[in-house]
Amino acid sequence: MSLNTADNATFLRVAPRLGVHDMEQALAFYGQLGFQTSLYDEHFGFAERDGVTLHLQHFSDPPEGHSVCWIEVTNSEALYQQYLPTGAVCSPLSDRPWGFKEFCIRDPFGYLILFDERLPQADAAAEKE
């Protein structure tokens, strides 16, 4: 099936929306991780870093379940070392068989955020294809 790009929508960006029960705590947590935080109003805030934005929405009773947000980064080792003292890291930085170096944090509301850096050998393999 051929797709005519003139007739199709284009995805421009993604911004995960995370339900939080304490906006002040959420802004402080993401600020501690190096995000620039701002409050739109008492029910909605933002955490932004390097062009990646997380939407923080206040719910007195947040939806149940666990969401995962994936963020591709550079220099994952430096980021990992920056986040270790926060106590939020829930998996060690390690090379994964799918071609990324990865670690994970858990925020105070149970969300998992994966930080991945593409391994050089994965880039080389992709160029050969």
How high is the pLDDT of residue 117?
A: 93
pLDDT mean values, one per 10 residues, the chain (129 residues): 56 80 96 96 94 90 75 92 94 93 92 90 61
Burial (CB count within 10 angstroms: exposed 0-12, middle 13-18, buried 19+), residue 66: exposed
For domain 14-128, the CATH architecture is: Roll (3.10)
How high is the pLDDT of residue 121?
A: 80
CB 54 within 8 A of CB 16: yes
How many residues in total does the chain contain?
A: 129
* In the chain, domain spans: 14-128
Which residues in the chain belong to E strands, given as ranges?
A: 17-20, 36-41, 44-49, 52-58, 68-72, 89-95, 100-106, 112-118
Tell me the C-alpha distance between 80 and 8, whole Å: 39
How high is the pLDDT of residue 3?
A: 52
